[in-house]
């Protein structure tokens, strides 16, 4: 049986407060991390598509998330938390995590664990994000993690059926690039890029063609695409910053999406809610 493909992180050193001894409290020490992750499918199956592999950012962010969650007495507990973070991703089959203290002895003191299943209390992967369906009119832009979806595309010739839908997606991609330029923010075309922006609490403009082209259920209209993306991202709120929101599709039963049927008000003004 062939060995699974594996990605790794080595010699990642972070300063953190950790340890059960009184001498370790109130001060930081160097921790060195080595992580390797066995993948469920070969990298050759990815087709050079970033959304079909496990991003290397997941490994460093698992460390950052675990350290931000609490103070640890034991490196063993920290290693368990990191493994759980990584194994919450469906592409990860097995995680091997090494955590070493570099300042507690003549050498590196630490633990290596190997885990194949998420722990019971593995954190949910849903991340807080707002979607903003925006037509480009001046508005007080929300702060934090926001994915902007262009509310309209340049007018042009259309074709019936699937060909027309694909042309509509390409037109929205063009609109997205112009909108990103106007806002001075990055474009996100893939799920990996969207997740990275959400984790860093950054605003991005979504160019929908790459993600939605093989999803006919997403449609080709901005409002429908926004709701489709909201469901995929687990977003609870869709902000509608355009004058006419009457044609916005209704969210399906059970979807907790708050729709604002008005342009965004100036900063400090109350929101118009459904």
Looking at the fold, whether 38 and 159 belong to one and the same domain comes out as no
pLDDT at 31 over 50: yes
- Domain containing 81 equals 6-115
pLDDT bucket at 30, cuts 50 / 70 / 90: very high
Give the three-class secondary structure for 193.
helix
Give me the number of domains the chain comprises: 2
Q: Please check whether residues 195 and 222 belong to one and the same domain.
A: yes
Q: CA neighbours within 13 Å on the CB side: how many for 38?
A: 12
Distance CA 167, CA 191 (A): 21
Higher pLDDT, 102 or 190: 102
Structural domain contains residue 17: yes
My answer on whether 88 and 169 are in the same domain is no
More confident call, 231 vs 98: 98
Residue 272 lies in a domain: no
Q: Do 11 and 73 share a structural domain?
A: yes
pTM of the model: 0.53
Top pLDDT among 125 and 38 is at: 38
Q: Are 31 and 75 in contact (CB under 8 A)?
A: yes
In a domain, 86, yes or no: yes
Whether 254 has a pLDDT exceeding 60, the answer reads no
22 and 52 assigned to the same domain: yes
User: Does residue 271 sit within a domain?
Assistant: no
pLDDT category, 126, cuts 50, 70, 90?
A: low
The pLDDT of residue 273: 39
More confident residue, 26 or 42: 26
Q: Is position 160 within any domain?
A: yes
Residue 269 lies in a domain: no
Tell whether 92 is covered by a domain: yes
Mean pLDDT calculated for residue range 202-224: 85
Q: Residue 72 gets which letter from DSSP?
A: B
Q: What percent of the chain has pLDDT over 90?
A: 22
- Mapped onto helix, strand or coil, the DSSP state of residue 146 is strand
Selection from 202, 204, 203, 222 nearest residue 212 by Cα: 222
Of 137 and 102, the one with more pLDDT? 102
The answer to whether residues 57 and 93 belong to one domain is: yes
Which pLDDT score is estimated for 262?
A: 45
**So what's the pLDDT on residue 226?**
85
**246, 206: one domain:** yes
Of 38-47, 156-165, 238-247, minimum mean pLDDT range: 238-247
Structure tokens that stand for 129 in this block: 């994000």
**Does residue 125 belong to any structural domain of this protein?**
no
On whether both 134 and 110 belong to a single domain, the answer is: no
């Amino acid at each position: 049986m062939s060995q699974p493909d594996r990605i790794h992180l080595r010699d990642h050193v972070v300063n953190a407060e950790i340890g059960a001894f009184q001498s370790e409290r109130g001060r930081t020490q160097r921790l060195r991390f080595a992580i390797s992750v066995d993948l469920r499918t070969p990298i050759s199956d990815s087709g050079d598509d970033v959304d079909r592999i496990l991003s290397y950012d997941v490994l460093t962010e698992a460390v950052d998330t675990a350290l931000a969650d609490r103070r640890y007495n034991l490196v063993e507990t920290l290693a368990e938390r990191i493994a759980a973070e990584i194994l919450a991703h469906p592409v990860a089959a097995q995680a091997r995590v090494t955590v070493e203290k570099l300042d507690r002895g003549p050498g590196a003191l630490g633990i290596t664990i190997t885990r194949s299943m998420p722990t019971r209390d593995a954190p949910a992967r849903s991340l807080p994000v707002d979607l903003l369906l925006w037509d480009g009119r001046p508005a007080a832009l929300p702060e934090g993690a926001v994915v902007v979806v262009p509310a309209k595309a340049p007018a042009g010739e259309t074709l019936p059926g699937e060909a027309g839908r694909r042309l509509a997606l390409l037109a929205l991609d063009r609109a997205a690039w112009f909108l990103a330029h106007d806002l001075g923010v990055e474009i996100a075309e893939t799920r990996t890029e969207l997740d990275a922006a959400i984790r860093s609490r950054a605003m991005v403009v979504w160019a929908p063609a790459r993600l939605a082209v093989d999803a006919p259920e997403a449609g080709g209209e901005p409002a429908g695409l926004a709701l489709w993306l909201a469901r995929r991202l687990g977003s609870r709120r869709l902000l509608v910053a355009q004058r006419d929101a009457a044609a916005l599709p209704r969210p399906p039963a059970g979807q907790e999406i708050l729709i604002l049927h008005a342009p965004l008000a100036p900063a400090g003004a109350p929101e118009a809610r459904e």
